[in-house]
Chain A
Amino acid sequence: DAKTTQPPSMDCAEGRAANLPCNHSTISGNEYVYWYRQIHSQGPQYIIHGLKNNETNEMASLIITEDRKSSTLILPHATLRDTAVYYCIVRAYGGNKLVFGAGTILRVKS
């Protein structure tokens, strides 16, 4: 599975959009981009995933560049409860392992 690169940490003001980047320049055509987050003292939580089209759900939006080499997770109105570690993962359709990197620590500040 392709590796991803994320910034180690980011800050965001409460109520503003949080844009979390992820680089996956070696992604293959059959690999999906997944986002999970982990709030302190909890297990990771699924957020969203996509292949090449932009995706939106009740939690977030996922924007994937046309060449699929990078993506951005957008939390449209960040709250203090969104403070967490955010993991960007690429995995092939039908792939077994979900391989977590170090992720991005997002701190939402009032």
Chain B
Amino acid sequence: EAGVAQSPRYKIIEKRQSVAFWCNPISGHATLYWYQQILGQGPKLLIQFQNNGVVDDSQLPKDRFSAERLKGVDSTLKIQPAKLEDSAVYLCASSLVQGIADEKLFFGSGTQLSVL
């Protein structure tokens, strides 16, 4: 079974530039998550999709971050314009069914973003 695919693996940009990350979840997984992980910290949830609808985006900085999952499958996360404090690893995760006790999240390897 293929895992969660993310690209690019690394990205270096200058502040005020824009950047986009792509995620393809495990086939058949209805729920998709984007997490931000700053060095030395645990991952922090940015946004959660159920199919192509947003379930939780309470911690997404909406003035600069946006995300979409148009056909309920793959997803993109965009930052425009980037700030120095956005330097982090952006992790995508998916799960088969959301909200059950046995829900297991499967994570991709992430995109490491450096903002200079």
Q: Which residues of A come within 8 Å of B, CB atoms? A: 32, 36, 41-46, 49, 51, 85, 87, 93-103
Residue on B with the closest CB to A100? B42
Q: Can you list 16 pairs linking A and B with CB atoms under 8 Å apart?
A: A41-B109, A43-B91, A43-B107, A43-B109, A44-B93, A44-B105, A46-B106, A51-B101, A87-B42, A93-B100, A93-B101, A94-B99, A96-B48, A100-B35, A100-B42, A103-B42
What is the CB-to-nearest-CB distance from A39 to chain B, in angstroms, rounded to a whole number? 10
Known: A46-B104, A49-B101. A100 touches B43 (CB 8 A): yes
Whether B4 contacts A43 by the Cβ 8 Å rule is yes
What is the CB-to-nearest-CB distance from A52 to chain B, in angstroms, rounded to a whole number? 12
- Chain A interface mostly: loop
Could you say which of B33, B41, B105 contacts A46, with CB atoms under 8 Å apart?
B105
Whether A45 contacts B42 by the Cβ 8 Å rule is no
Known: A43-B110, A46-B106. A99 touches B93 (CB 8 A): no
Whether A96 contacts B42 by the Cβ 8 Å rule is no
Number of chain B residues close to chain A: CB under 8 A:
26
With a cutoff of 8 Å between Cβ atoms, the chain A residues found around residue B4 in the complex are: 43
Interface readout for B29-61 with A: 1 if CB under 8 Å, 0 if not?
Answer: 000010100001111110010000001100000
Known: A43-B4, A87-B42. A98 touches B99 (CB 8 A): no
With a cutoff of 8 Å between Cβ atoms, the chain B residues found around residue A42 in the complex are: 107, 109-110
Residue on A with the closest CB to B31? A96
Could you say which of B35, B43, B101 contacts A32, with CB atoms under 8 Å apart?
B101
Whether A101 contacts B42 by the Cβ 8 Å rule is yes
Q: Let me know if B98 is at the binding interface, CB within 8 A.
A: yes
Whether B100 contacts A94 by the Cβ 8 Å rule is yes
